[in-house]
Structure 1
């Protein structure tokens, strides 16, 4: 069944892949994109709306004639001790409220919203967690991503096209019935193949045409890492007494070490059952696609 899709944040990393997945359906659906800026090279088959999620009238205007909205927009994560909290909340919270309200006013029956697995993170290991996992009483940085590991902790690395594919599946399932079991549900979406961090990093490095020499890999114990992080935090606190925090970059912290050295992967059985989701691009293929794309866009590196 064809839809008139509006992809909010359609100029972003995930949003562009959602647009590609809708196109791949070749079912007669039309595509509109709502974003903060116009693309440098607009596509002829897409209607573009430039606007601000924080402005309700901008959002409502873009909803005209739309039957399905996929909302992927979010500010990028800023690795800073002084993150733009007001910006995050004005877009991720207030902006999303505008989207919901506009869908209701415009009579749009289908809305799919992207979130983050980090919203249920406490800094403790997350082993095969499912959608019943409760939100913690105090949220850590919702944009924090595990970036390193000790190679015994498993992590879920996911090809972006698979996530985009699942968004479109959700929209299609919602269209089948007003009482669809998909309605109001949250879904974990990953490649379903958790691997140790350094195994993944080595594969990326190898695909790039390099080999990761073992002599350059330094493995620190958890306790040693925590001591270094404590020293780093102390240095930052001393600097903060004399300099504006907005000008300082936070270094290694104990919370980041704790998260980085913990397993973090998710159970995707619910998405498989209700959405019919299976990753369409495997991890190895995803690495090849990602590295090739990086080489094309960064020819000098």
Structure 2
């Protein structure tokens, strides 16, 4: 597919659900850069770290919940194309909240589809996940011909709900609009690899917080385990190309749009061990302890199931800040401990997708971002420092209860020297 970079964008109105998120914000800005008439961001959040940049670019904010029909409907009027990125349950405590995950990912997607039908939206690009076909069994250079992973066998609500939602989206392809008999909705799904880049807010902050505390001391799986990653700019490019692939008014092209009803795997095209590619280099650049020991995937999976069980005990309070993020959960063990990577050949042949940023460039930009962030913020002490500080405080506190004769002669040399080192 060879179109100009502004084809189907210039002079067109767009909606981006989840537009205040990491990828959503980047997509909004790129649509504006390419000449979109209007870009509307629908997000549950009133603001985010990208809000000012989006406002300066002219993006319109709509605060709303995709679980509410009225919130979705009011944003979709007179819109040509929708990018549905809003989701829930991808990582951390969210993964334990199955009810909310289903509400957002399944019910929310149904509301998006209904609003598209109601208001005559022509194009819908849905952001899906590798997990619709991956569930813990190795996949090497997989393609879109792979069947969906059995719904009942998913280890988490996120993968299951995204699979259901993707199938709903693709089955809605070609649906005739309610308001106009000549208008049809064309849909496609983009299945991205693990996303990285400056400002990523789901995976890397959590991993780095564990690294800072010295709690990420193990690699999971052997060094030969390989997975895919995708740099944010590459994913944004794929989303825009997918929207172009849904155009039904290209001069000289007849029939159904090339991307209509299709799913596409999107990645950097360089499968690699996650610890070697991004985790260890990031830790090293920030001065955090690099994971050395290796934990077998089966052992990590057993531990993660215990952590999952413990997390479910605190289900009613998971939104509370005093409940820490789980160390790791089963789906995350599979993500880093089991080989699974896919080919973007179909996206290349049908959409013209080729990564614009190499993994080396993407990693360098990500490391620079976190180094700068560490310089701007007060980087707290590691867990080993806290242990030493607490031990010193206990030593000083204990000295207050020594017999007077001992206190008058001074504290023991060992306590004094230890306290001096800690303070």
Do both share a fold (TM > 0.5)?
Answer: yes
Q: 2:69 aligns with which of 49, 52, 56?
A: 56
CA contact (8 A) 2:88 2:94 kept: no
Shift of 1:164: 1.4
> Where does residue 28 of structure 2 map in the other structure?
19
> Where does residue 169 of structure 1 map in the other structure?
241
Distance 2:359 2:96 in 1: 32
Q: Bigger CA drift: 163-172 or 252-261?
A: 252-261
Shift of 1:187: 0.5
Q: 2:352 aligns with which of 259, 273, 276?
A: 276
Q: 1:285 aligns with which of 347, 358, 361?
A: 361
**1:34 matches 2:51:** no
Shift of 1:4: 0.9
SS at 1:219 equivalent: strand
Distance 2:346 2:115 in 1: 29
Distance 1:279 1:141 in 2: 30
> Where does residue 43 of structure 1 map in the other structure?
55
After superposition, where does 1:147-296 map in structure 2 within 5 Å? 148-177=220-249, 179-200=256-277, 201-205=279-283, 208=285, 217-220=292-295, 222=296, 226-227=298-299, 230=302, 233=305, 257=333, 260-296=336-372
Distance 2:92 2:311 in 1: 17
Distance 1:65 1:30 in 2: 10
Q: Bigger CA drift: 288-297 or 129-138?
A: 288-297
Q: Deviations over 1:191-238 (max 9, x none)?
A: 0111122320333345x365976xx61124x3xx5356546756986x
Distance 1:198 1:82 in 2: 22
Q: 2:15 aligns with which of 3, 6, 28?
A: 6
Give me the TM-score of the superposition, normalised by structure 1: 0.84
Q: What are structure 2's unaligned runs of at least 5 residues?
A: 1-6, 160-193, 195-202, 208-219, 250-254, 318-322, 380-423
SS at 1:195 equivalent: coil
SS at 1:170 equivalent: helix
> Where does residue 139 of structure 1 map in the other structure?
154
Distance 1:46 1:82 in 2: 30
Q: What are structure 1's unaligned runs of at least 5 residues?
A: none
> Where does residue 97 of structure 1 map in the other structure?
110
Q: 1:13 to 1:28 in 2, by over 3 A?
A: closer
Distance 2:94 2:27 in 1: 32
Q: Bigger CA drift: 143-152 or 112-121?
A: 143-152
Q: 1:198 to 1:169 in 2, by over 3 A?
A: same
SS at 2:229 equivalent: coil
- Highest RCO, 1 vs 2 (Cα 8 Å, sep ≥ 6): 1
Q: 1:205 to 1:24 in 2, by over 3 A?
A: farther
Distance 1:228 1:47 in 2: 44
Shift of 1:23: 2.8
CA contact (8 A) 1:82 1:246 kept: no
SS at 2:114 equivalent: helix
Distance 2:306 2:104 in 1: 33
Tell me the matched-pair count.
292
Shift of 1:154: 1.0
SS at 1:154 equivalent: coil
